[in-house]
C-alpha cells in the first residue's frame, strides 16, 4: 500500500485548525467558563460588581469576551479593562485577539502610555489604569464605555485608588444624566464638560466591575456601598514550600545557586524567579548564561527570558513561549508575574522575598525607591504560581521564622508616594477639594498639603490652589511626572527643548549604561567617551545623539529598517549601552515630542551653549538641589537631608559644590542619581519663588 502525505498547504491548514481547537479547549477548561451565564446576569443586575478569583482562573481574558457576547457593546460602546501594568495590558490584549481569531487593534486592542493599538473598531480595550485617568480629562463621563473593569484592584496602585474614586463619581453622574436626559445639571465634576459629553446621546449607566485575586473583597464592597461580590472557584495544585536554614546575605547569588540546583537535581518544569527590577534581572541573566556554558554537554540546556514593565512588548512576549524540547525555561520577572500575567509551564518558583517599592516622606516631600521585604500576601501569590498546571515547589530564600515577621498585606501605594501627579490630575478633572475627595484610603493630610505646595512652586497651581493657565493645564496634559512636564515647558523658554526632551526620555527608562562584571574596565572606558564634566544629564544627551547619528548613517546608506536595527544593536554592544532601554527611550521621545508639538512649544536647541542648558536644568529641578558639606557629603536644600552622590554618577569623583539631581535611592544611605553641577547663585536667580531671601 502506498502511503500519502498531506501537501504543504494542507498541512499548514491542519496545524492551524488544530491550534484553534486547542485554544477553544483551553478556554472551555478555565474555571470561569462554567459560570459565564451567571456572571453576565450578575453584571446586568448590578451596576457595581466585585469578582474575586485565583490567578489563572480566566478573569482578565474571558470576562470581557463574555460581556461582549452578552450584548454589552451595542451602539458601538466599548468595554474597558484597566491593568496596573503595561505588560499585562499588552500581553492579555494579544492573547484575547488571538482567542477571538482577529487581528490585534480591531475588535480587541490595548492602549498604554506611549503605545496605542486601538482603532474605531475596538470594542474590548485593555489599558493601564493611568491611561484611563488621562482619558477622563478629555471625556469626563467616559461616555464611550458601557463597562469598565478595574482589574488587579488588590494591587492598590496609586492610579487604581484614584480611578476607583473617580469612577464612583462618573457612575453617579451618568446615572443622573440618564435619568434626567441630556440637560441635567450634574452632580459630578466639570459640569460644563459633562454636559458637552452627554450632548446628543443619553448616557447609559456605567457598569463597574472590580476584579481582584486576593480574598479581601470586603474593603471594595464597603467602598461601593455594599456592592455584591462573586467568588470564582480557582484550581490550584499543592505547592511544597521550602525555606533556607540560614539567612542569605546576597539574594541574587542565592537565586543563581538555586536555579542551577533545581536545573541539575529536579525533574522537568520551568522556573520562575522573582527579582526587584531590570538591573537585577539583566545582571542575573548574564550570570546564568555564563555559568550555563560550563554545564556538562549531556545536561539539558537553560533558556532565560526576562519580563518586567519597561521591556519592549515584543520581548515580553518571549516569556510566554515554551522552550524547545530538552531545554528548561527560566523566567526572570519582577512582581509583575505575581498576579498580572500567567506564564505557562512554571513548576518551580524562587522567591527571594524582596520587592522594589516607592516610599515617601511627607514631611520632606521626597519620594524614593527602596527594596523592601514582600508582604505575606505577596509571598503566597508568588508560591501559588508554581501550582498552576500541576504540583510544584517554591524555594523561599529566607528562613521560615522570617515569613512570620512579614506584614500581612502591602500598604496601598497612595499612602507612600508623592501625590503631586494625583493632585494635578484631579485638579485638571475639575475636582478642587482634594482633601475632601472620596479616596478609598485617604492619604495623609500632610502629604496632600506638601504636594499642593510643590505644585504651587512649580507654577502649576495659583496661590489659591487653582490650575494655572496655561502652565498648569499644559502640565496636566503631559503624561509625565509634574517636575518633568515643567522641565519641558521651562526649556522651551530657555530655547533648549530639544535637549530637555532627550533628558526626560532617557530619565523615563531604567539604566542606559551597562557594566558587565567581566568587562568592567572596557565598559567604563566606553562611558568616558560620552561623559560630560558638567554631569549626567549632558552625558545622556551625548549618548542619545550618538545613537541617533549611528541610525542616521545607516539610513543614508539606504539600509532597510531591519538592518538599521541591527546596526544600532551592534553600536549599543560596542558602547556598552543597554539596547532595550535606549529603544524604549527613543519611543518615549517620539511620543512626548508629539505632545509638546501639539501644545505649540518651540522645538529649539541650545547648540553648544551647555551653560544655558545647565541653567535651564536648574530652573526646572530647583526643588532637587544639593550643596556639598565640609565632610564631602551633600545636603539636599529643600529637605535638609544628608545625601551622597551615587557611584554611578559621572560627578562621583569630582564632587562639585552644588548640584541638581533627579532621583533619590535609599539603600544603606541616601544616594542621589542623575546629577548636573550648577552655580549655587543660579538658584536664587532662577527660582526666586523658593530661594530668594529678603534683604
Ligand atoms: O485573570 P486571571 O488571572 O484570572 O486569568 P487570565 O489572565 O484570564 O488567564 C487565563 C488563562 O489564559 C491562563 O491560565 C493562561 O493559560 C491563558 N493565557 C495565555 O495563554 N496567554 C496569555 N497572554 C494570557 C493568558
Ligand atoms: Mg488577571
DSSP 546-560: HHHHHHHHHHHTT--
515 touches ligand 1 (CB under 6 Å): no
For the Cβ of 55 lying below 6 angstroms from any atom of ligand 1, the answer is yes
- pLDDT for 558: 76
CB 91 near ligand 1, within 6 Å:
yes
Render 276-319 in DSSP notation, one character per residue. SSHHHHHHHHHHHHHHHTTS-TTSPEEEEEEE-TTS-HHHHGGG
Q: Does the pLDDT at position 3 exceed 70?
A: no
Task: Enter the C-alpha cell of residue 116.
Answer: 496605542
pLDDT in tens, 92-107: 999 999 999 999 999 9
**d(Cα 382, Cα 353) in Å, to the nearest integer?**
9
pLDDT confidence tier of residue 195, bands split at 50, 70 and 90: very low
Say yes or no to pLDDT of 181 above 70. no
Cell of 123: 470594542
**Residue 52: closest CA among 163, 168, 206, 210:** 210
State residue 183's pLDDT score: 40
ipTM: 0.98
pLDDT tens track for 335-357:
988 887 888 899 999 999 999 99
Query: With bands split at pLDDT 50, 70 and 90, how would you rate the model's confidence at 114?
Result: confident
Rounded to two decimals, the pTM is 0.85
Ligand 1 atom at shortest distance from the alpha carbon of 211:
1
Interval 311-316 mean pLDDT = 76
Q: Assess whether pLDDT exceeds 70 at residue 695.
A: no
Q: Is the CB of 57 under 6 A from ligand 1?
A: yes
How does residue 278 score in pLDDT terms, banded at 50, 70 and 90?
confident
Is residue 388 within 8 A of residue 342, CB to CB? The reply is yes
Q: Is 64 in the pocket of ligand 1 (CB under 6 A)?
A: no
56 lines ligand 1 (CB under 6 A): yes
Segment 649-666 shows an average pLDDT of 93
Q: How far apart are CA 249 and CA 283, in angstroms?
A: 17
Taking the centre of ligand 2 as the mean of its atom positions, its distance from the CA of residue 377, in whole angstroms, is 16
Is pLDDT of 67 > 90? yes
Residue 678: pLDDT above 80?
A: yes
Q: Quick one: pLDDT at residue 360?
A: 85
Q: How is residue 55 written as a grid cell?
A: 490567578
Residues constituting the chain: 695
Mean pLDDT, rounded, for 274-284: 92
Q: Determine if ligand 1 sits within 6 Å of the CB of residue 564.
A: no
Among 145, 143, 134, 137, residue whose Cα is nearest residue 112: 134
pLDDT of residue 514: 82
Residue 500 CA, ligand 2 centroid: distance in Å: 38
Q: In the prediction, which pLDDT does 95 show?
A: 93
Q: What is the pLDDT of residue 179?
A: 67
Sign of CA pseudo-dihedral 678, 681, 685, 688: positive
- Predicted confidence at residue 55, as pLDDT, reads 85
pLDDT of residue 577: 94
Q: What is the pLDDT of residue 4?
A: 66
pLDDT in tens, 405-434: 999 988 999 999 999 999 999 999 999 999
Mean pLDDT is lowest, of 185-199, 372-386, 444-458, for 185-199
Residue 659 C-alpha from the chain's centroid: 29
Question: Buried b / exposed e across 585-608, counting CB within 10 Å, b at 16+?
Answer: bbbbbebbbebbeeeebeeeebee
Is residue 192 over pLDDT 60? no
Mean pLDDT, the chain, rounded, equals 90
**Using CB atoms within 10 A of its CB, is residue 653 exposed (0-12), middle (13-18) or buried (19+)?**
exposed
Residue 182 reports pLDDT greater than 70: no
Q: For the range 569-575, what are the long-range contacts, defined as Cβ-Cβ under 8 Å and sequence gap of 24 or more?
A: 571/546, 571/547, 572/547, 574/526, 575/526, 575/529, 575/530, 575/543, 575/546
Distance CA 317, CA 88 (A): 10
- Average pLDDT, integer, range 252-264: 96
pLDDT-wise least confident of 12-21, 150-159, 466-475: 12-21
Q: Name the residue of 53, 64, 95 to mutate for ligand 1: max ligand atoms within 8 A of Cβ.
A: 95
- Give residue 356's pLDDT: 93
How confident is the model at residue 1, as a pLDDT? 58
Is residue 186 very low, low, confident or very high in pLDDT (cuts 50, 70, 90)? very low
- For residue 187, pLDDT beyond 50: no
34-38, 306-310, 482-486, 606-610 — which is least confidently predicted?
306-310
What tens digit of pLDDT does each residue of 622-651 get? 999 999 999 999 999 988 889 999 988 999
Q: Tell me the best of 35, 213, 342 to mutate to test the pocket of ligand 1, counting ligand atoms within 8 Å of each CB and taking the most.
A: 342
**Ligand 1 atom closest to Cα of residue 32:** 4
Residue range 216-235, pLDDT digits in tens: 788 999 999 999 999 998 77
Asked if 77 contacts 145 with a C-beta cutoff of 8 angstroms, the reply is yes
Name the more confident of 518 and 439.
439
Measured from the Cα of 26, ligand 1's closest atom is: 16
Nearest Cα neighbor of 176 from 220, 133, 142, 206 is 206
Q: Is 368 in the pocket of ligand 1 (CB under 6 A)?
A: no
Ligand 1 in reach of 65 Cβ (< 6 A)? no
- Residue 27 Cα, ligand 1 centroid: separation in angstroms? 9
8 A C-beta contact, residue 71 and residue 217: no
Q: Region 187-193: what's the mean pLDDT?
A: 42
pLDDT of 556:
84
Q: Is the alpha carbon torsion for 331, 126, 124, 59 positive or negative? A: positive
Q: Is 385 close to ligand 1, i.e. is its CB under 6 Å away? A: no
pLDDT in the model for residue 297: 84
Cα 55 to averaged position of ligand 2 atoms, centre (Å): 6
Residue 174 in this model has a pLDDT that exceeds 60: yes
Residue 5's pLDDT band (cuts 50, 70, 90): low
User: Ligand 2 centroid to 571 CA: how many Å?
Assistant: 39
Please check whether residue 127 is in contact with residue 81, taking contact to mean a CB–CB distance below 8 angstroms.
Answer: yes
Q: Around ion ligand 2, which residues have CB less than 5 A away? A: 59-60
Closest to 232 measured CA to CA, from 51, 100, 389, 404: 51
Asked if pLDDT for residue 690 goes beyond 60, the answer is yes
The radius of gyration of the chain from alpha carbons, rounded to an integer in Å, stands at 26
Amino acid at each position: 500500500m502506498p502511503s500519502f502525505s498531506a501537501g504543504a498547504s494542507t498541512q499548514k491548514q491542519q496545524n492551524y485548525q488544530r491550534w484553534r481547537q486547542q485554544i477553544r479547549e483551553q478556554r472551555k477548561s478555565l474555571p470561569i467558563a462554567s459560570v459565564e451565564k451567571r456572571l453576565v446576569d450578575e453584571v446586568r443586575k448590578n451596576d457595581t460588581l466585585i469578582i474575586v478569583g485565583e490567578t489563572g482562573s480566566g478573569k482578565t481574558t474571558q470576562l470581557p469576551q463574555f460581556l461582549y457576547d452578552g450584548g454589552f457593546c451595542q451602539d458601538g460602546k466599548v468595554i474597558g479593562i484597566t491593568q496596573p501594568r503595561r505588560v499585562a495590558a499588552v500581553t492579555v490584549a494579544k492573547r484575547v485577539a488571538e482567542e477571538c481569531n482577529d487581528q490585534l487593534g480591531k475588535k480587541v486592542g490595548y492602549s498604554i502610555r506611549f503605545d496605542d493599538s486601538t482603532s474605531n473598531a475596538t470594542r474590548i480595550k485593555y489599558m493601564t489604569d493611568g491611561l484611563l485617568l488621562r482619558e477622563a480629562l478629555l471625556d469626563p463621563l467616559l461616555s464611550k464605555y458601557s463597562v469598565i473593569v478595574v482589574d488587579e484592584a488588590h494591587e492598590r496602585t496609586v492610579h487604581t485608588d484614584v480611578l476607583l474614586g473617580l469612577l464612583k463619581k462618573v457612575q453617579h453622574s451618568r446615572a443622573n444624566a440618564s435619568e434626567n436626559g441630556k440637560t441635567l445639571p450634574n452632580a459630578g465634576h466639570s459640569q460644563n464638560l459633562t454636559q458637552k459629553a452627554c450632548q446628543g446621546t443619553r448616557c447609559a449607566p456605567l457598569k463597574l466591575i472590580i476584579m481582584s485575586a486576593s480574598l479581601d473583597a470586603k474593603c471594595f464592597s464597603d467602598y461601593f456601598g455594599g456592592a455584591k461580590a462573586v467568588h470564582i472557584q480557582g484550581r490550584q495544585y499543592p505547592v511544597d514550600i521550602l525555606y533556607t536554614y540560614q539567612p542569605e546575605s546576597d539574594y541574587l547569588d542565592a537565586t543563581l545557586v538555586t536555579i542551577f540546583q533545581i536545573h541539575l537535581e529536579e525533574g522537568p518544569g520551568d522556573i520562575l524567579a522573582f527579582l526587584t527590577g531590570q538591573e537585577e534581572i539583566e545582571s542575573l541573566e548574564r550570570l546564568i548564561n555564563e555559568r550555563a556554558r560550563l554545564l556538562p554537554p549531556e545536561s539539558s540546556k537553560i533558556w532565560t527570558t526576562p519580563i518586567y514593565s519597561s521591556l519592549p512588548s515584543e520581548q515580553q512576549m518571549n516569556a510566554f513561549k515554551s522552550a524547545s524540547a530538552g531545554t528548561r525555561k527560566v523566567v526572570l520577572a519582577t512582581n509583575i508575574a505575581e498576579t498580572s500575567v500567567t506564564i505557562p509551564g512554571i513548576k518551580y518558583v524562587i522567591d527571594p522575598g524582596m520587592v522594589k517599592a516607592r516610599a515617601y516622606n511627607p514631611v520632606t516631600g521626597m519620594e524614593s525607591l527602596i527594596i523592601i521585604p514582600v508582604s505575606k500576601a505577596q509571598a503566597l501569590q508568588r508560591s501559588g504560581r508554581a501550582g498552576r498546571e500541576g504540583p510544584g515547589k517554591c524555594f523561599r530564600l529566607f528562613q521560615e521564622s522570617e515569613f512570620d515577621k512579614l506584614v500581612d498585606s502591602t500598604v496601598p501605594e497612595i499612602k507612600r508616594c508623592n501625590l503631586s501627579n494625583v493632585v494635578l490630575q484631579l485638579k485638571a478633572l475639575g475636582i478642587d477639594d482634594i482633601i475632601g475627595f472620596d479616596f478609598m484610603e485617604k492619604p495623609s493630610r500632610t502629604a496632600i498639603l506638601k504636594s499642593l505646595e510643590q505644585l504651587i512652586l512649580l507654577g502649576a497651581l495659583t496661590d489659591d490652589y487653582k490650575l494655572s493657565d496655561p502652565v498648569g493645564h499644559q502640565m496636566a496634559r503631559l503624561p509625565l511626572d509634574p517636575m518633568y512636564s515643567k522641565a519641558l515647558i521651562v526649556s522651551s523658554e530657555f530655547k533648549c527643548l530639544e535637549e530637555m526632551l532627550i533628558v526626560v526620555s532617557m530619565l523615563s527608562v531604567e539604566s542606559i549604561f551597562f557594566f558587565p562584571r567581566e568587562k568592567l574596565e572596557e565598559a567604563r572606558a566606553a562611558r568616558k567617551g560620552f561623559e560630560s564634566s558638567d554631569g549626567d544629564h549632558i552625558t545622556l544627551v551625548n549618548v542619545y545623539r550618538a545613537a541617533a547619528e549611528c541610525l542616521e548613517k545607516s539610513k543614508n546608506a539606504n539600509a532597510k529598517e531591519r538592518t538599521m536595527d541591527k546596526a544600532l544593536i551592534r553600536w549599543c554592544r560596542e558602547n556598552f549601552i543597554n539596547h532595550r532601554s535606549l529603544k524604549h527611550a527613543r519611543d518615549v521621545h517620539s511620543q512626548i515630542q508629539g505632545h509638546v508639538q501639539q501644545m505649540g512649544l518651540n522645538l529649539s536647541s541650545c547648540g553648544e551653549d551647555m551653560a544655558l542648558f545647565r541653567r535651564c536644568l536648574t530652573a526646572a529641578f530647583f526643588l532637587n538641589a544639593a550643596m556639598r558639606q565640609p565632610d564631602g557629603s551633600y545636603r539636599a536644600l529643600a529637605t535638609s537631608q544628608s545625601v551622597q552622590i551615587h557611584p554611578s554618577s559621572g560627578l562621583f569623583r569630582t564632587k562639585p559644590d552644588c548640584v541638581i539631581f533627579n532621583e533619590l535611592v535609599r539603600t544603606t544611605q541616601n544616594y542621589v542619581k542623575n546629577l548636573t553641577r550648577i552655580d549655587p547663585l543660579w538658584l536664587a536667580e532662577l527660582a526666586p519663588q523658593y530661594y530668594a531671601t529678603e534683604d
